[in-house]
Amino acid sequence: MFRSTPVVPRPKEYAVTSANSAGAPSRRSIFAASFVGTSIEWYDYYIFGTAAALAFGTVFYPKFSSTAGTLAAFATFAVGFIARPLGAAVIGHFGDRVGRKAMLVLTLLLTGGSTFLIGVLPAFAAIGIAAPLLLVVLRVLQGFGVGGEWGGAVLIATENASPGRRAFYGSFAQFGVPIGVLTSNLAFLAVSGMSNASFLDYGWRIPFLISLVLVVVGFVVRTRLRDAPEYQKAKRAGEITRIPFADLVRRHPRNLVLGSLASIAPPAVGYTVILYMLTYGTTVAGFKRSTLLALILSSTAVWIAAIALAAVIADRLGAKPVYIAGAVTAVLWPLPMFELVNSRDTWLALLAFVVAALVQGIMAGAQGGLFTEIFDVSVRYSGISVAYQVGGMLGGAVTPIVATALFASYHSSTPVALYVSALSLVSLVAAVGLRQRRVPGRQGRRVTKGSTSREGRAASR
């Protein structure tokens, strides 16, 4: 997907020098815009998921039974995932047609604005059925914004990097996911000491209202961005088509399907831990809510470290084998994880979450670099956004719902664990199915077949 460029001995310097010479942002600015923005976006998204597990069933669906209320709250959570592929397609279209920067600012405002409004939304007791309906509308807007967030945040980093550093730069955006988990859990941990009545009355709203401050910070950082030289060059050369998504489907159907399936495992594991375990751990395993939040909070340090290490290894060995290794661990870990939580021992539960964080970190560290290299620059925003979000919908949207229903039917965590493993197996097979080719670059790095530009395809013959 790259035009032929001279190989230089120090890719890190190449990335900074090349970017600066073309007027692109510095590496520090790239990191700030990619990392800070996704941190804010995922903070917004995870506080919704946490509130769905802890409060929304009672606040917005009080007429339902306890189990039905939880299912309804998780269904509202899932609606956001359904909106994400649509947001990915629409925002990705304009991200390819207009530019990465404008869409990154839009995604921030969409997600942050809807999150703040959820924090001031009246409960069912105040406005009746309008409350859950408005909650669904705001959730759709939130999901629509998130749909285009990850792709833009990854591209603003990877398109400013040399070929030998794309996984490392791509990991900037991936740090935002565990940081979002960390900050959202900190926010809920701060209010978890409230009485149950106070928490359901106003305590759950505080994390939503705080997000407005974070959005302002992200807005300032992102309005200073410039699109990468690689994209600007493609736009000047007239390589951007009228309908990038149609071009994507026509030219990259295999990579689009396999990329979507390969994206299932990370959210399947992640949302099982971050959302479902909050309900399962308190109602079945007998942990206190504050204890579970603290354990998940502690595991994010391992998650962040695993992302960084996996990204460095991916730049040396290739992103595909690292991603496959993470998918293998995602298949194997769910059963032991539930057994450790079922022990009701705090330290064993911490071990369960720490290894789960490691599993997610391995895949996340390789994913940004891998996905950047499976689509041409002219359709790249659309391609990586749609693939990532379809995988997120399949792996994240229904997992808490299915897990709740499976446990209600079988009164055992084993079917839940097997379900998560099965989803991860789908990702493993899809990742293995991605074909690779050699391209000029640092250490003969391998990239996925189908990611080449016209020149790259000609050179590979």
Return the higher-pLDDT residue of 117 and 213.
Answer: 117
Alpha-carbon distance of 302 to 299, in angstroms, equals 6
The pLDDT score that the predictor gives to residue 241 is 79
Residue 37: give its domain's CATH number: 1.20.1250.20
CB-based contacts of 252, cutoff 8 Å, min separation 6: 374, 375, 376, 379, 383, 450
Does 16 reside within a domain? no
When divided into structural domains, the chain yields a total of: 1
Question: Helices H, strands E: what count in the chain?
Answer: 24, 2
Q: Which residue type, as a one-letter code, is found at position 166?
A: R
Q: How many CA atoms lie within 13 A of 336 on its CB side?
A: 14
Does 1 reside within a domain? no
∠ CA 132-135-141, rounded to 5°: 150
Which 8-state DSSP code applies to residue 99? -
Does 15 reside within a domain? no
Mean local confidence (pLDDT), 107-117: 87
Does 181 reside within a domain? yes
Q: What is the pLDDT of residues 291-335, one digit of tens each?
A: 887 888 888 889 999 999 999 999 999 999 999 999 999 999 999
Does 400 reside within a domain? yes
Does 9 reside within a domain? no
Share of the chain above pLDDT 90, in %: 30
Beta strands in 127-273 (DSSP E): none
The residues facing 446 across adjacent strands are 438
Does 2 reside within a domain? no
Mean local confidence (pLDDT), 27-55: 78
The pLDDT score that the predictor gives to residue 14 is 37
Does 258 reside within a domain? yes
Question: Which pTM does this prediction carry?
Answer: 0.79
User: What mean pLDDT value characterizes the chain?
Assistant: 82
Cβ of 287: how many Cβ atoms within 10 Å? 21
The pLDDT score that the predictor gives to residue 26 is 67
Q: Quote the domain boundaries for residue 200.
A: 23-460
Does the pLDDT of residue 256 top 50, yes or no? yes
